[in-house]
Structure 1
Amino acid sequence: MSQKLQFQVEQLLQEQGEYIPLEFLLLEGRLIFCDYEAWRNGEIDYLEDALFGDPVQVKDTLQQASAYMQKREWEAYRLSYKVWRSEAEPTLRFSRDNGFNDYFHGCYKKPDDQLQMDLFTDAPASNLANRISQAVLEKNSEEAARLLCRLYDIAPDYVQLAALEHLVEATRLLLMPVVDVEAEMKVLQQTLTPMAEQVLGNESRRLLIPLWQRLSEALLERPYEAERAELHLSYTATQAMDWEIVQQAVEQELAWESDPILLLRHARACDHLYKKMEIYQSWFMICWNFPEYSEAIKDSTDRQLQQQWEKFLAVDPVLPEQAFPAWLLINMPSLTKVLKDPCRTEIESPESYKLLYQLQSIYEQTRHTGVDDTIISLRRELKQANPMLFDLYINPDNS
């Protein structure tokens, strides 16, 4: 098991207290929540078909993660998923492959946790609270309200009563139009989200995402204002993990490339959509025009980009963030096959980047290291434009 994979699993355990493959795949950007919802609604037969990336590699990753949890001697249990709000409630399969299916449904928790949980679930009030939570997750506001009244009667001092009341009210909001989007967003951010995460745990997305989608509908026609950046469709769609909508919402704004917040949202959306050209182009514009935001590259779901950024930061002597795109072409000349020619786009880029793009394009097209007049001329210009990058280009082992 690689050190990186171990870190990713440990990060999940730290955040959620148990290992659930679904949460791991969502966290790693291998799945998007709307596809998970479609699967739970019976619209997709196998969730495996919605995976981003190579399924064989994903299966191997889950296998290694499972072996790691066994090595840690955590308690294994199987988590089954059924179609939401279906009378038959058929059990869903993740994959056609039995082994892959088992890895997805195989979860792990700390052995000592089970006893502590049983102390709560045996109590009548806790059982009733669990039923309220389930009704909330199913968006059944009438049933949730009915059960909440019963909880008031039998346990008026129940510790989570106030939180449950807020969540039940939230299910009613889903059926109502948005009156004040700014005020409702504040409530969702500051009150409902922490309460849902506390009460509903890993399942909180099932309530929170529809609430964010509701706000998205209210913001469909609202133009972007930099001083009120959250009151824009690209923000609410980000919270709802509707990445296609995020990308579209950003790109419909005039001069969106000149705003760092929109650029960041665009880059992250393309990250999750695995749109390689757009990923790199957005991050490059951030490096060139808003270098103070470039540190966010470390959180990219594009592992290769993330690794190259870490390598770039270790270069000695230190290069400015604006040099990262050009430096990347030195280390990954094949990017010229993915990225647009900077001399043929309206996007402004440094001269050193344009020169390295031309040099690496020639290399990729001819696949030889011979030097002709064109290459000599381009190298001369690169040396004048940026001596440090020129040295790294001539001696790539130093980069």
Structure 2
Amino acid sequence: FMTLETQRALPNEPDLQTIQTQIQERGSFCPVQWLIDTGLLPYPGYEAWRYGEHDFLTQAVECETGTLLALLQAGQRQAQALKLVSESTRYHDWRAEQSERELAFSRRAELSQLLSTRWLRSQDLPQLDLFMDSGTASAENGLIDTLCGRQWHEAEKAYSTLCEIAPNHNQLGRFETLVLYGKHMAANPVIESEWVADELAGLEQDIAPVARELLRGRARDYLALAWQRLGHSLAASREPHIHPSYAWMQIPDWQQVIDSIANITDYREQPELLGRLAQALYYRGQQDIAMLAAASVFELDVDSSALMAVASSIGPLNTQWQEFSDSDEPHPSTHFPAWLLLRRPGLIHHLNSPYPKPAGKAFQACVSLLHCRVEKRDEINARERLQGISPGLLRVYLGAD
């Protein structure tokens, strides 16, 4: 066995499917948004950069410079293979008094160029609409800038300008909704407990869909503030949908997901919260610890849909689950953690983490057997123990599966 050191697991390079999905959902492939999606750029770090707390965006990226450059170059090659068109983007300080200040990406020119480029389909390039003159387009873009920059007073003025220039604009009512909600958040930073459920429903059903449609790839900048507000206001409960971690996942702020779930004394018995924790650990770069936490769900008495939801939230785990499910020799789902350990024996080096891990008899028998191998001790008793629990798992260990 190799001794595994705790280090951040890196995501796969941006592939064609990832880029196409981001274009479909957000209108473009944006490397900065991809870094947030993969967890390499934690949202709090991105937000700190937008508020002027970092001189360069790369100071918030949890990745070695050379590796980051290689990942972004790979994304560029894939975008070019899809014949996408590049467009330079600028980011400005979110502080009201510094709103004209353009932010820097990196000390390295090549990294700055890669991070400041977004990729679009040629037909999606900004162009003058037949029914929208340049003044209207400029006013709309100005309103979007203020909404995504969280400048609510300026957004109100920009909205008034749009109304004057284009009184028949077909999205005025929806833009007004976003302006009013922004002002509402500013005036009510804390949500009273009796209104939390209504605020959550309104955000999900009304505000978020409008923001995603009108703001597209920049919607997260607007919505994150709303989810943070809810995350701080939701009380911990046994109902996952109204647990704070639900709000933090929408941003996503993975460390807040982890911290909020750890505050629940019995979260280890709640499959959805346990799966959510595992997903957050995965995006915080702790892949092996995340897989152990997720695997522990399979030892609980839950239905197959819950197991599939947990497995699909973590790519490498999903691959292992599919192999387990397609095995020639069927195993009960409760034995998946043990099977996983035999397939990835290096996981035994992460059993001392403070996060959940499987504890079933089959899993513990496999742990004992692997320790015998590592320590070069006699395996007879350990093999007999596993044989008594599952002959099939012993065959997996011996390489006969």
Q: Which has the higher contact order (CA 8 A, sep 6+)?
A: 2
CA distance 1:223–1:99, change in 2 (3 Å): closer
Give 2:4's aligned residue: none
SS in 1 for 2:187: coil
CA drift of 1:82 comes to 3.0
Q: Which amino acid aligns with 1:391?
A: R
1:331 aligns with 2:343: yes
CA drift of 1:115 comes to 6.0
1:387 aligns with 2:391: yes
Structure 1 stretch displaced more, 125-134 or 248-257: 125-134
Aligned mate of 1:352, from 362, 380, 393:
362
Q: Kindly provide the CA deviation profile for residues 279-337 of structure 1, in whole angstroms up to 9, marking residues without a partner as x.
A: 13320221111353221344435x54344334333322233332221111111111111
SS in 2 for 1:112: helix
Contact 1:291 1:321 in 2 (8 A): no
In 2, Cα distance between equivalents of 1:29 and 1:345: 19
Unaligned ranges ≥5, structure 2: 1-11
Q: Which amino acid aligns with 2:397?
A: Y
Q: Kindly provide the CA deviation profile for residues 341-371 of structure 1, in whole angstroms up to 9, marking residues without a partner as x.
A: 9xx99977221110111121233344xxxxx
CA drift of 1:62 comes to 1.7
Contact 1:82 1:90 in 2 (8 A): yes
Pairwise CA RMSD: 2.8
In 2, Cα distance between equivalents of 1:334 and 1:242: 28
Give 2:176's aligned residue: 165
CA drift of 1:53 comes to 4.7
Give 2:5's aligned residue: none
Contact 2:248 2:254 in 1 (8 A): yes
The normalised TM-score by structure 2 is 0.86
Give 2:251's aligned residue: 240
Q: Which amino acid aligns with 1:22?
A: V
Structure 2 counterparts to residues 49-60 of structure 1, below 5 A: 49-60=59-70
CA drift of 1:90 comes to 4.3
In 1, Cα distance between equivalents of 2:13 and 2:252: 28
The normalised TM-score by structure 1 is 0.86
1:34 aligns with 2:44: yes
Give 2:213's aligned residue: 198
1:83 aligns with 2:87: no
Q: Which amino acid aligns with 1:210?
A: L
CA distance 1:314–1:5, change in 2 (3 Å): farther
Contact 1:121 1:127 in 2 (8 A): no
CA distance 1:279–1:346, change in 2 (3 Å): closer
Give 1:14's aligned residue: 24
Give 1:189's aligned residue: 204
Give 2:123's aligned residue: 112
Q: Kindly provide the CA deviation profile for residues 249-279 of structure 1, in whole angstroms up to 9, marking residues without a partner as x.
A: 2121121111122212212222222234641
In 1, Cα distance between equivalents of 2:109 and 2:356: 50
Structure 1 stretch displaced more, 307-316 or 29-38: 307-316
Aligned mate of 1:315, from 317, 321, 327:
327
In 2, Cα distance between equivalents of 1:244 and 1:115: 36
Structure 1 stretch displaced more, 123-132 or 156-165: 123-132
SS in 2 for 1:230: helix
CA drift of 1:192 comes to 0.4
